């Protein structure tokens, strides 16, 4: 494909690592609608090779973590520290184009759209300056890539969206990259018990290693088991990392009266979740959405990278396998089979 050079406010990045995330697969299945053809990949890190006019906070040679929410910084939501809801970002990202309304990738002269304003499944990409967060030294590219999405989404849901207090009881549905990041976030917050739920029993040891106090297999009627582990009342907080409507409904059943449900997994576009209003009202339950962990990427990426370097955040176990760029199909076969937690593409391996 033809990659056009960076325009004003844009950066050319050589990809060092790109995470294998289910959100990209949802574009392939149609669960997420997006203009096609598209370059997928929204979880990445790399090295700046060139900058366009007006770029000031990164320079060629800088290592960067890539954010898929290049917020404008001045709209209603950005001024209220909600960059994931940026009005400018929202108008352009789902059209697969840059801020000027055009993509930077072309195939035989026809546009190729960039998923989440990135398109990390590539050797090089052109992105907005706002997508680039300088990477602290001592953090490997594969770890940096995970900080760019799953780690920030999971830890942020616990610490930013829910603001979980110490000693709170927490249940987390889904023990993939995002769910296990929620487990680590809950552990850092001092929550107890921390109950991880997944359909794959093989995830148990890793969940317990990363901070869960209990692991339950995802079976029918699990809400009663969760209530039993949480003083018979139900959890203070229930987090969904799956995006499956039936699981989201179980979250509501698993929290105590006055408890909070946080929905972080992406449900298929057009799907519906039955969250009974009578239960929410009479038991004063709260349901919150969490998009990108309600994060401020320039703050949170650096914070999580620092915790990794200090040994407070053990991200290495999330990295199950590395793949060459040409092995992307195999990587998604492994993800869908449940044989990896997080795979990473390494373009230099080809």
Contact 323, 340 (CB under 8 A): no
pLDDT of residue 349: 75
Least confident of 100-104, 129-133, 169-173, 310-314: 100-104
pLDDT in the model for residue 348: 83
Tokens of 162: 């829910």
Yes or no: say if 237 and 169 are a contact pair by the CB < 8 Å rule.
Answer: yes
pLDDT tens digits for range 14-45? 999 999 999 999 999 999 999 999 999 999 99
pLDDT recorded at residue 9: 95
pTM, full prediction: 0.94
Interval 158-171 mean pLDDT: 97
- Where are the strands (E) in the chain, listed by range? 2-3, 10-19, 38-39, 44-51, 63-66, 105-107, 110-114, 124-128, 132-134, 170-173, 194-198, 214-217, 235-240, 255-263, 286-289, 319-324, 342-346
Residue 339: what are its φ and ψ, rounded to 5°? Answer: -90, -5
**Cα gap 314→63, rounded to integer Å:** 21
- 225: pLDDT strictly greater than 80: yes
Answer yes or no: are the C-beta atoms of 237 and 162 closer than 8 Å. yes
Integer CA distances (angstroms), 65 to 76, 93, 126, 293, in order: 25, 18, 14, 16
Kindly report which listed range (55-59, 78-82, 146-150, 268-272) carries the lowest average pLDDT score.
268-272
Q: How far apart are the first and last CA of the chain?
A: 17
| Closest residue by Cα to residue 18 from 156, 112, 99, 125 | 125
* Residues 315, 303: Cα–Cα separation, whole Å: 13
pLDDT score of 88: 83
Which are the contacts of 282, defined by CB distance < 8 A and separation ≥ 6? none
54-110 confidence digits (pLDDT tens): 999 999 999 999 999 998 889 999 999 998 899 888 788 889 999 888 999 999 999
Residue 115: pLDDT band with limits 50, 70, 90: very high
């Amino acid at each position: 494909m033809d990659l056009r050079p960076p325009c004003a406010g844009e950066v050319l990045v050589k990809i060092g690592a790109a995470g294998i995330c289910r959100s990209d697969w949802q574009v392939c299945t149609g669960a997420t609608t997006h203009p096609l053809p598209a370059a997928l990949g929204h979880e990445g890190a790399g090295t700046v090779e060139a900058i366009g006019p007006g770029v000031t906070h990164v320079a060629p040679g800088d290592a960067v973590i890539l954010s898929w929410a290049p917020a404008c910084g001045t709209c209603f939501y950005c001024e209220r520290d909600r960059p994931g809801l940026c009005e400018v970002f929202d108008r352009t990202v789902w059209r697969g184009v840059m801020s000027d309304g055009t993509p930077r990738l072309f195939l035989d002269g026809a546009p190729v759209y960039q998923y989440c304003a990135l398109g990390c499944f590539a050797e090089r990409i052109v992105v907005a300056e706002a997508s680039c967060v300088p990477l602290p030294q001592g953090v490997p590219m594969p770890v940096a890539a995970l900080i760019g999405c799953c780690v920030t989404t999971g830890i942020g849901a616990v610490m930013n969206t829910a603001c979980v207090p110490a000693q709170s009881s927490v249940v987390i549905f889904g023990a993939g990259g995002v769910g296990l990041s929620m487990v680590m976030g809950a552990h850092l917050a001092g929550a107890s018990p921390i109950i991880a739920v997944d359909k794959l029993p093989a995830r148990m040891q890793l969940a317990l290693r990363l901070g869960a106090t209990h692991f339950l297999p995802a079976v029918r009627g699990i809400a009663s088991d969760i209530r039993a582990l949480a003083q018979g009342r139900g959890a203070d907080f229930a987090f969904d990392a799956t995006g499956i409507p039936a699981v989201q409904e179980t979250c509501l059943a698993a929290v105590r009266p006055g408890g909070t449900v946080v929905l972080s997994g992406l449900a298929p576009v057009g799907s519906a979740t039955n969250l009974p209003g009578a239960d929410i009202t009479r038991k004063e339950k709260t349901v919150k959405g969490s998009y990108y962990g309600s994060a401020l990427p320039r703050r949170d990426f650096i914070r999580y990278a620092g915790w990794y370097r200090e040994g407070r955040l053990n991200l290495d176990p999330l990295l199950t396998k590395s793949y060459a760029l040409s092995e992307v199909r195999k990587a998604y076969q492994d993800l869908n089979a449940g044989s990896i937690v997080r795979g990473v593409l390494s373009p230099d391996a080809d």
